[in-house]
Structure 1
Amino acid sequence: MRVNSIRLEGIEHTKRSVVEPLVRPILESQNLGDVLSESREACHRISRLGVFRTVGVTLDTADPGLYGLVDDEAVDVVLNVTEAPRFYARTGADFSNYDTTTNITTRISNVLGGGEVLEANASYAVQPGIALNEPSTSFNNNETGSYFQLLLSKPILPKPVFQRPNHVDPDARAEFAAYSTNRNMSLHQSHEEETKGLSARYKTADIFRGTHELAYDVAWRRVHSLAQSASWSVRQDAGHTLKSAISHTYAKDHRDDPMLPTTGSYIRTREELAGLGGDVKFMKGEAEGQWVRSLGNGFIFTTSARGGLVVPFTGHRMRINDRFTLGGPNTVRGFRQSGIGPMDKKDAIGGDAYWAAGLSLFTPLPYLRDKPIKGHVFLNGGSLAQVNTATPPAETARIVFATPSVSAGLGLAVRFSILRLELNYCLPVTATRSDVLKPGFQFGIGVAYL
């Protein structure tokens, strides 16, 4: 059986040039099995464009055509689609023990009929101000942070003449963004950081080989609004910097649920090179992984690990806003946010190398086995240190791994549609002299956890 023609019904705004590369492989079918298989794959590719609400396929008798000739072995493939609404808006609020954030997202899909997405995101965070110069921590005012991004995204599809059958990637997209942020770091670094930048990204995805993102980012940054008690480490990095960097991110996620998985594995790596202009020059690498296994009867065992290293170019030093930080309810629990590693007075000044690992056992709860809530028993630890490029690698490894900060505890983990909430009772087991402990109950909310 061969395919006589492909018809698309229900398209109003989408251009033919966008859909045609995704359905053209159907024409290569040689028998009924090929027709059904290729049609199903074409529907899947069209759905991944994100501009159609429903996609269906039917087979029809071949159209006789201009000369009234009918081939008994030919069939017409009819794809029935319903375009999704082009305008979308959402508002919401997120709450944690570190801030309260209100946000709004607006999106216009299929702007020019080519699968483009124009999206604007804005958020405003209110954090309880902390009087760092008082003998005991007291909440006396409100500190704020804000974020804004304007993003244009467009699928990158091959022209039909250059297309190879079965090699069309509907997830390949080019993105261009302009953003502005103002982050309040006063809870652990006695300053605020303002960033304004432009970025360009190329993304591609494959459910078996993983996703890749190649990006170029240029950003003007300013460390400002220093507290009176700010340390010298913060003060020497105050002011303006210009960062120009390229980066590559690879991720492969085979977990059945990214929020509270029951089985599967996850790996992510990121490499960054800063110094293509500007006054910030370094190389940075970071990796993380997770392995999840179901033990049966609602018990789930999870092991996670992550680590990173950043090295400045010769003649340059690392700044406080380019170093790693560690500690808090989403990483090594039982410690203050960014409470592990080097400190200057009460400021977490970050490190050049770190590692962290965790073991978690999620247990079913009586009468709640069918609910997205689990008991949680954990053991996690890690270390963060500043390293000297002149130090031998063996000595650097000893510095980073010799004195880990470790904690254990138990609590509850609750899965929501877009995030996970944890309430744990934490007990620090080992710590360094500079660590800031947070024993007792700790509340966390987010997407990624150790």
Structure 2
Amino acid sequence: MVEAEQEIKREILENKDIVVQNVNIQGLRRTKEDYLGYEMSDVFNAKTLIDVINKSHEARQRLLQLGIFQQVEVLIDVSEGEDAFPNGLDVTFEVTELKRVTGTYNTMVNNNEGSMVLGVKVPNMFGRGERLAFQFSYGTKETSYVLAFFKPQSGCFERNFILNLYKGTRQFPWSSMKKTDRGVSAEVHFPVWMMDHTLKWEAVWRALGCLVHGASFTVREESGHTLKSALSHTMVLDTRNCPLLPSKGSLLQISQELAGFTGGDASFLKEDFELQMSRPFLWDFVFSASLRAGMIFPIGGRPISITDRFYLGGPTTVRGFGMCRIGPQSEGDYLGGDAYWAGGLHLYTPLPLPFRSTWGTHFRTHFFLNAGNLCNLNYGGGVSAHLLRLAECIRWSYGAGLTLHLGNIARLELNYCIPMGVQRGDRICDGMQFGAGIRFL
């Protein structure tokens, strides 16, 4: 009887026509009210009470995504006053803005290195979502300072403009080299046809030096100052349910970079793409396949800098090999290559039942097969010669281990690796290999 009455009440709420007369927002101090109109406008299209509740919740989520409010509450009430309709409703959003200055502290893990990150943000500077942020990062191989200004487009926060000023020092132990970058970049982000696009211009002054006294002569020749000015475009289609350890969905990322068109002494065209697919099947098993590839072409006869080339190998790419220690090298220093490809097949399975505790759900057993190659190209030989070169001397490996997923912070792997197809000069890691990062092959 009670269930029947509840069903009748639900049908009445769903079918009763209403009119949203007013949509108000309270608690604004710095934010301009016209900037929020798009996020709340759809509430006026609601025709029933259930529809009002759903559309108000969607508007609340959009307001939170703007990154300018600490809290957003929704109040729905009957319209009052002489002009009120009998079936009129008022919707009020009560917001709490972020403080004028906020500080952040966190740690970041990427490509087998950790960093401590300190930041200061000035959110909603001019009342329309603008943000000024300063970030200092200190890590095992990299130290950087970044000052960034963020400006979203009114009505669509996914379209935005970012201006960066930065300085960073990074070590490359596989090449016995260190690099200091001082630069400025401007980025425009926008969605088109379900894909996220980024157009970027960057001008960077790069100072290259030797990391150790015993660096090879080739690395010493590369030392000095260079100026790179480049235009790049990246498009991403990401349907994965989790970027670190997905159980379903796919990723397609394509990048192009053109250097030298707007000045500088670096001149090249660089192409890079990544494809990843994950599918669940029996007993909560997940099968994943991934492929990466890239080429760099010199323009105007200028040599390609060691810092612009591709590197391959390590626990986040071709497992069983040393970090970035596949391919051309000189006196033990790895010099990178003009082209590469890398692929992987993975099977992730849950732990046996006795180990599926609260923490046990974050672990997966991992079986993998990786393969790839990195080399320099003979640019006079044509496309067929490039493909033949990449098909020679393929490195590959297989193994098994454990994977730990730490939310959206990092992914950790401990694998027993068996490297195969090892070529002269490659550095291998036969046996246990530990990997940490946010981007894995």
Letter in 2 for 1:409: G
| Cα 1:368/1:117, change in 2 over 3 Å | farther
Counting only pairs closer than 5 Å after superposition, residues 116-155 of structure 1 correspond to structure 2 as 116-126=130-140, 145-155=142-152
* Residue aligned with 2:125, SS: coil
Q: Check if 1:305 corresponds to 2:305.
A: no
Select between 230-239 and 343-352 the one with higher mean Cα deviation: 230-239
Which one-letter code corresponds to 2:125 in the other structure?
V
- How much has 1:93 moved relative to structure 2? 4.7
1:213 paired residue number:
198
* 1:191 alignment partner in structure 2: 177
The equivalent residue for 2:274 is: 288
Shift of the alpha carbon at 1:229?
A: 2.8
Q: Deviations over 1:131-177 (max 9, x none)?
A: xxxxxxxxxxxxxx4111111112111xxxxxxxxxx4222221111
The match for 1:165 is none
Mapped pair 1:352 → 2:338:
yes
- The one-letter amino acid paired with 1:231 is S
Alignment counterpart, residue 168 of structure 2, candidates 163, 168, 181:
181
Match of 1:396 among 380, 386, 391: 386
User: C-alpha distance in 1, partners of 2:355/2:160?
Assistant: 42
- 1:46–1:170 CA contact under 8 A, matched in 2: no
Which deviations, in whole Å up to 9, do the C-alpha atoms of 1:66-92 show, x marking residues without a partner?
xx3333354333223233445443334
Opposite residue 114 of structure 1, the aligned amino acid is R
Partner of 2:24: 7
> How many corresponding residue pairs?
417
Give the aligned partner of residue 131 of structure 1. none
- Residues 432, 22 of structure 1: CA spacing in aligned structure 2 closer, same or farther, 3 A cutoff? same
Q: CA deviation at 1:330?
A: 0.6
Given the superposition, is the C-alpha separation of residues 100 and 178 from structure 1 closer, same or farther in structure 2, using an over 3 Å criterion?
Answer: same
1:404-423 equivalence runs, <5 A: 404-417=394-407, 418-423=409-414
Q: Could you tell me whether the CA contact under 8 Å between 1:169 and 1:204 is conserved in 2? A: no
SS at match of 1:171: strand
Query: Residues 98 and 210 (structure 1 numbering): CA distance in 2 closer, same or farther, change over 3 Å?
Result: closer
1:171 partnered with 2:158: yes
Shift of residue 121, structure 1, vs aligned partner: 1.7
Corresponding residue for residue 90 of structure 1? 104
CA contact (8 A) 1:219 1:244 kept: yes
Partner of 2:431: 440
Does residue 1:239 correspond to 2:224, yes or no? yes
The correspondence for 2:234, drawn from 233, 249, 258, is 249
The 10-residue stretch of structure 1 (44-53 or 238-247) with the greater mean CA deviation from structure 2: 44-53
Partner secondary structure for residue 188 of structure 1: helix
The DSSP-based 3-state class of the residue aligned with 2:175 is coil
The amino acid that maps onto 2:255 is R
Distance (Å, rounded) in 1 between the aligned partners of 2:221 and 2:419: 32
Deviates further, 241-250 or 81-90 = 81-90
CA contact (8 A) 1:97 1:443 kept: no
CA distance in 2, matches of 1:320, 1:72: 74
- Write the distance in 2 (CA, Å) between the matches of 1:194 and 1:400: 32
Whole-Å separation in 1 of the counterparts to 2:301 and 2:252: 34
Paired residue type of 2:163: F
- Pairwise CA RMSD: 2.3
Partner of 1:428: 419
Q: What residue number does 1:141 align with?
A: none
Residue 60 of structure 2, aligned match among 36, 43, 52: 43
With normalisation by structure 1, the TM-score equals 0.86
Shift of 1:19: 1.0
The CA distance in 1 between the partners of 2:110 and 2:390, in whole Å, is: 30
**Structure 2 residue aligned with 1:17:** 34
* Structure 1 Cα separation of the partners of residues 211 and 84 of structure 2: 80
What does residue 164 of structure 1 align with?
Answer: none
Once the two structures are superposed, the pairs formed by residues 353-368 of structure 1 within 5 Å of their partners are: 353-366=339-352, 367-368=354-355
**Aligned equivalents of 2:148, 2:290: Cα separation in 1:** 32
Match of residue 214, structure 2, among 225, 229, 233? 229
**More displaced, 76-85 or 245-254?**
76-85
Shift of 1:320: 0.4
User: 1:259 offset after TM fit, Å?
Assistant: 1.6
Matches of 2:19 and 2:107, distance apart in 1: 54
Question: What displacement does 1:194 show?
Answer: 0.7
State the distance in 1 between where 2:196 and 2:114 align: 32
Q: 2:327 aligns with which of 329, 332, 341?
A: 341
Shift of 1:360: 1.1
TM-superposed deviation, 1:126: 3.6
Structure 2: which 5+ residue stretches go unaligned? 1-17
TM-score if structure 2 supplies the norm length?
0.88
Q: Which amino acid aligns with 1:177?
A: N
| Structure 1 residue 343, shift from structure 2 partner | 1.1
Shift of 1:63: 4.9
2:434 maps to amino acid: F
Report % sequence identity: 35
Distance 2:241 2:109 in 1: 26
Change (3 A) 1:119 1:319: same
The residue number in structure 2 matching 1:138 is: none
CA contact (8 A) 2:183 2:203 kept: yes
Separation (CA, whole Å) in 2 of partners of 1:354 and 1:63 = 68
TM superposition shift of 1:427: 0.9
* TM-superposed deviation, 1:324: 0.6
In structure 2, the CA distance between the partners of 1:86 and 1:401, relative to structure 1 (3 Å rule), is: farther
Against the structure 1 CA distance between its residues 97 and 204, is the aligned structure 2 distance closer, same or farther, given a 3 Å change threshold?
Answer: closer
2:130–2:152 Cα contact (<8 Å) kept: yes
Tell me, which stretches of 5 or more residues in structure 1 are unaligned?
128-144, 158-167
Q: Secondary structure at the match of 2:253?
A: strand
Q: What residue number does 2:47 align with?
A: 31
In structure 2, distance between residues paired with 1:253 and 1:96: 20
